[in-house]
Amino acid sequence: MAEPLLTELSARELAQKIAKREIRAVDATRAFLEQIDTYDRTLHAFNEIYNDAAIAQADAVDHSLDRGENLGVLAGVPIALKDNLCTLFGHTTCSSKMLQNFCSPYDATVVTKLKAAGAIFVGKTNLDEFAMGSSTENSAFGPTHNPWNTQCVPGGSSGGSAAAVAGRLCAAALGSDTGGSIRQPAALCGIVGLKPTYGLVSRYGLVAFASSLDQIGPMTRDVRDAALMLNVIAGPDAKDSTSWPQPPPDYLRDLEKPPEKIRIGLPKEFFGDGLAAEVSNAVHAAVDFFRNHGAEIVQVSLPHTRYGIAAYYVIAPAEASSNLARYDGVHYGHRTPHASDLFDLYAASRAEGFGPEVQRRIMLGTYALSSGYYDAYYLRAQKVRQLIKDDFDGAFEKCDVIISPTTPDVAFKLGAKSSDPLAMYLCDVFTVTCNIAGIPGMSVPCGFSSTGLPIGMQMLGPVFSESNLLRLARFYELAHDWRTRKPAIAPSS
C-alpha cells in the first residue's frame, strides 16, 4: 500500500513519525506550504503565510531531534493561528484595517505553549473582523471560501482556520469562540471544533471581543488531534485572572475507551422550526447510533433557549463597545491623516478603521450600556444569562451529554445573508447558549447533505467535562468515515 501524502496525516501521526525520524519536519512543513501555495488563492484561508520562518523552525526541530533531544508533543507539526492571537512574529490584524499594520510586542499564552511543544507556525488565518460574524465575509481583506464548495461560506468567525484544516493547508489550527465561532465553521467545513469550558484555556493575548464569552480552542481533522491540542494549550495562567487554577487532566489518556452507561439528552428546543430536514436526519441518525450501542436517550428542556440570541446580542456588543474603545487613533492602530481637531481624529480614525459590522455592534453595545437603558437591556440580559445557565444545570442532572445540531442548515452561498444581519445572527442559534453558560461544546462531523456539504453534530457537557465529550466523540468518529473524506479544491490560477 502506498504511503499517504504527508498532508493527509493527522497532527498526531505527523508528530509520531517525525519523533521516530521516519519523516523530517522540513519535509512535512514544505508539503503544507506547497498546499497553501496551490490552493489558498482559491480559499483565502490565510492573511499571512510564514514560508521562510516555518522552514527555519522545522529545520531547527530536525537538528534537535538528530542530536537525540526530547522535544514537545507537537514537534515539527505545521499549525495555523487565527489572526486575533498575538504573536511576536508577523502581524496581528484581527482582519481589520484598524490593526492592519499592528505588530504585537508579546505572544499569547497559547502561542507560547505551542512553541514549547515544538509546533511550526505556517501562517495567520482570516476571520470576521474582530471575530464579529458567522461567515468570514466581514474581513477587511476579503472573504474565505468553503473548501467543499467555494461558492459557499466556511462559517465564522474562525472560517479561515476551518477552511485551512479542511483543505489540508495545515495539520491543525486554533480558533476563538465567543458565540459559536469555532463550532459553527467546524460544522460547515466538516472538521472537529472544540470550545473549552470558560477559563480552561488562557485568554492572555487573545484580542478581546466579549471578555466574559471568549474562549480559545482547537480545530482539527479528528477528535484525537483535538485532545492532543487541548493537552498543549489548557491549564492555569497567572496572566489571565479568569484562568481556572487547577491543572487539567490528560485528555488522551482514556480517549479510546468506549463510554459506559452514558445518558444523552435531546433538547426539544433545538429540534424545532428552522432546522433543515437533512441536518435533523443526520443528527438523529447519530443519536440512533448511540442508542444502539447502549446509551440512554432522554428528552430534556432548555426553556430559555429562545432568549439566547437576544441576550447574546446585548451582552457581546456591550462588552465589545468597552473593549474596542481603546482603538481611538491615538495609542496604536489606524490613525486618520485627515483630522482638524481631537474629536475629528477619534471619529474619523474609528470610522475608517472599523468595518460596518463592527460599527453596528459598537453602537448596539454603547446604546445598551447608556444611561437610562442599562437596566432595560444589559441588566436584563445578564439575568437571562443566569436563567440559561440554570437550564443547563437542570438538564445535566438528567443526562451526561446534550446532543443537538451545530447549525440550522449547511453552508450558504457567499453574499446570501450579507444584507440581513438578523438572518446571519440566527446561524448561531444553537451555539450561543454554550458561551452564555460557560460550558464546553464541540462540533463533530455527522454526515453530508444531498449537495455534498458537511453536517455537524454538537455535543455539550457540564463544566470541565471535556474528557467525556472527547471520548464520546471519538467513539462515534471511529465508527464512521466522515473524517476521511476530502474536499476537491480547484488549484489557484
d(CA 232, CA 219): 13
* pLDDT single digits (tens) 321-356: 999 999 999 988 999 998 999 999 999 999 999 999
Please report, in tens digits, the pLDDT of each residue of the chain (493 residues total). 345 699 999 999 999 999 999 999 999 999 999 999 999 999 999 999 999 999 999 999 999 999 999 999 999 999 999 999 999 999 999 999 999 999 999 999 999 999 999 999 999 999 999 999 999 999 999 999 999 999 999 999 999 999 999 999 999 999 999 999 999 999 999 999 999 999 999 999 999 999 999 999 999 999 999 999 999 999 999 999 999 999 999 999 999 998 889 999 999 999 988 999 999 999 999 999 999 999 999 999 999 999 999 999 999 999 999 999 999 999 889 999 989 999 999 999 999 999 999 999 999 999 999 988 999 999 999 999 999 999 999 999 999 999 999 999 999 999 999 989 889 999 999 999 999 999 999 999 999 999 999 999 999 999 999 999 999 999 999 999 999 999 999 887 6
d(C-alpha 112, C-alpha 263), whole Å: 38
Query: Of 76, 82, 40, 36, whose CA–CA distance to 55 is shortest?
Result: 76
Q: Is residue 63 part of a domain?
A: yes
Residue 50 — φ and ψ, nearest 5°? -110, 65
Domain with 186, as residue range(s), is 6-261+466-484
Predicted confidence at residue 4, as pLDDT, reads 63
Tell whether 95 is covered by a domain.
yes
Does residue 30 fall inside a structural domain?
yes
Going from the C-alpha of 6 to that of each of 22, 25, 39, 172, 229, the distances in angstroms are 11, 10, 16, 13, 19
Is residue 130, in this structure, part of any structural domain at all? yes
The answer as to whether 112 is a domain residue is yes
218, β-bridge pairs: 174
Q: Is residue 474 part of a domain?
A: yes
CA distance linking residue 379 with residue 385, whole number of Å:
10
Map grid coordinates 445578564 to a residue: 382
Quick check: is 167 in a domain?
A: yes
Nearest to 111 by CA among 129, 144, 84, 134: 84
| Cα 252 to Cα 249: distance, rounded to the nearest angstrom | 9
Residue 340 in any domain: the answer is no
Contacts of 124 (CB under 8 A, 6+ apart): 46, 47, 48, 80, 81, 82, 83, 85, 87, 90, 91, 92, 93
Cα separation of 285 and 288, whole Å?
5
CA angle (50 as vertex; 326, 336 as ends), nearest 5: 30
Q: What is the Cα–Cα distance from 189 to 159, expressed in whole angstroms?
A: 9
Give the per-residue pLDDT at 331. 84
Instruction: Say which CATH number the domain at 91 has.
Output: 3.90.1300.10
Could you check whether the bond before residue 157 is cis, i.e. omega within 30 degrees of 0? yes
Q: Residue ranges of the alpha helices (H) in 91-222?
A: 109-116, 159-166, 183-189
Q: What pLDDT score does 39 carry?
A: 97
CA–CA separation, 278 vs 105, rounded Å? Answer: 47
Give the pLDDT of residue 338: 86
Task: Catalogue the active-site residues.
Answer: 82, 157, 181
Number of folded domains that form the chain: 1
Buried b / exposed e across 370-400, counting CB within 10 Å, b at 16+? eeeeeeebbebbeebbeebbebbeebbeebb
